[in-house]
Amino acid sequence: MHRMSTEIHTSRAESFFASLLQQATITLNGPNPWDIQVHDKRLFQRFYNGGSLAFGEAYMDGWWDVESLDNFFTRVFAAGIHRNVRLPLSILLKTLFCRIYNTQAERHAFHIGKWHYDTGNDLFRRMLDRRMVYSCGYWKDATDLDSAQQAKLDLICRKMGLQPGMRLLDIGCGWGSLLQHAAEKYAVEALGLTVSSEQADSARERCAGLSVEVRLQDYRQVRGSFDAVASIGMAEHVGWKNYHKYMELAHRCLEPGGVFALHTIGSKRSVKETDPWIGKYIFPNSMLPSLAQLTRAAEPYFVVEDIHNFGSDYDRTLMAWDQNFRTAWPELKDKYGERFYRMWRYYLMVSAASFRSRRNQLWQLVLVKKPGHARYDAPR
């Protein structure tokens, strides 16, 4: 009797799964590159009980495959079926926890560095461009990943109006790409902050001989006066309880009329948590800000001079990273293993689909400390 009940339940879970996919014109075990191929029928029950977290974990375990993961998720997001997935109690409790507690508090600052950015410089060196820029490239006039990232770095420097002798603060400096570019091309003095020891070591090596200092330090601890502040791909780790502090810090560090260039992935709606799978395996304690959240936090401190959205460029950037990753995999596989390979490609392809479907955005904000310029014309 128990066996028959389980079979009926599993059958219902499979029907629910197939009906969701049909809304996105995805066929279970179908012939198209975006059709899912199920290798283990336990997937249906696992997905029904565990939602997106369980679905991603099942992919890591090899229970299902799709020839074109990016197109699969683009269809899922465009159809909005991800919003119809049942959330298990554990995820609801985690969401409640994120709303009550400050999971991005200063005492947790270095966790993301150790978990994600310290994964291995060998991995990132092979996946990224020659300067190791781990954020969206600017493809307006670019032909390859290197030129897209070079264009992005220069665009940010021009938006900040850098001049020789200026002092620049880079909050979340990564492997030192902006620090190097700004010091070499614009002859500025620069301070970079990161919570990743691997990034800090690499950035110091990259910027050796330049007027650049790199600190392993949380942004809330920085002191000093700067002509410009940049934050590239770091606001995603600030958290909704800290946006005001983040803006206040940038304001405090800037000279009057100074520019804060804020480059971040953004959500179309204001949220207080992240996707359960992304939060567990890729970016713990991360959270995509909305434009409303950022501008509300900036309101007491800055004039918002420019907002530039080129989120579609992140799709192309992520696909270039994926190509580099797959090409380099024979050199990496003995160290990282097959489960990591599936996890990392899942992360890259889900991300690419989120931008292709315009579920996520990429914004560059130019914020000027009051009193600002009489006129500001943003470079493009």
Tell whether 364 and 326 lie within a shared domain.
Answer: yes
Tell whether 23 and 114 lie within a shared domain.
Answer: no
- Asked if the structure places residue 236 within a domain, the reply is yes
Tell whether 165 and 76 lie within a shared domain.
Answer: no
Cα angle 324-327-329, degrees, rounded to a multiple of 5? 105
Q: Which helix (H) or strand (E) holds 213?
A: strand 212-216
- Asked if the structure places residue 95 within a domain, the reply is no
How do residues 156-198 score in pLDDT, each as one tens digit?
999 999 999 999 999 999 999 999 999 999 999 999 999 999 9
- Asked if the structure places residue 380 within a domain, the reply is no
Tell whether 62 and 138 lie within a shared domain.
Answer: no
Cα–Cα distance list, 312 to 164, 281, 303, 308 (Å): 33, 25, 26, 12
- Residue 3: its pLDDT value, please? 40
Tell whether 36 and 168 lie within a shared domain.
Answer: no
- Asked if the structure places residue 15 within a domain, the reply is yes
Tell whether 112 and 59 lie within a shared domain.
Answer: no
- Residue 363: its pLDDT value, please? 98
Task: Indicate the pLDDT class of residue 81, thresholds 50, 70 and 90.
Answer: confident
Q: Which helix (H) or strand (E) holds 156?
A: helix 145-160
CATH of the domain at 325: 3.40.50.150
How do residues 5-25 score in pLDDT, each as one tens digit?
444 477 888 999 999 999 999
Is the distance from CB of 14 to CB of 36 less than 8 angstroms?
A: no
- Asked if the structure places residue 113 within a domain, the reply is yes
**Is a pLDDT exceeding 90 seen at residue 272?**
no
Indicate the number of domains in the chain.
2
- Residue 2: its pLDDT value, please? 37
In degrees and rounded to multiples of 5, residue 145 shows phi and psi of -65, -45
Tell whether 270 and 318 lie within a shared domain.
Answer: yes
| CB neighbour list of residue 185: distance below 8 Å, 6 or more residues apart | 154, 157
Is the distance from CB of 38 to CB of 66 less than 8 angstroms?
A: no
How do residues 104-133 score in pLDDT, each as one tens digit?
667 777 889 999 999 999 999 999 999 999
Tell whether 72 and 134 lie within a shared domain.
Answer: no
**Is a pLDDT exceeding 60 seen at residue 241?**
yes
| CB neighbour list of residue 114: distance below 8 Å, 6 or more residues apart | 196, 197
**Is a pLDDT exceeding 80 seen at residue 60?**
yes
Tell whether 306 and 336 lie within a shared domain.
Answer: yes
Mean pLDDT, range 54-62, rounded to an integer? 97
What is the extent of the structural domain holding 31?
2-86
- Residue 372: its pLDDT value, please? 59
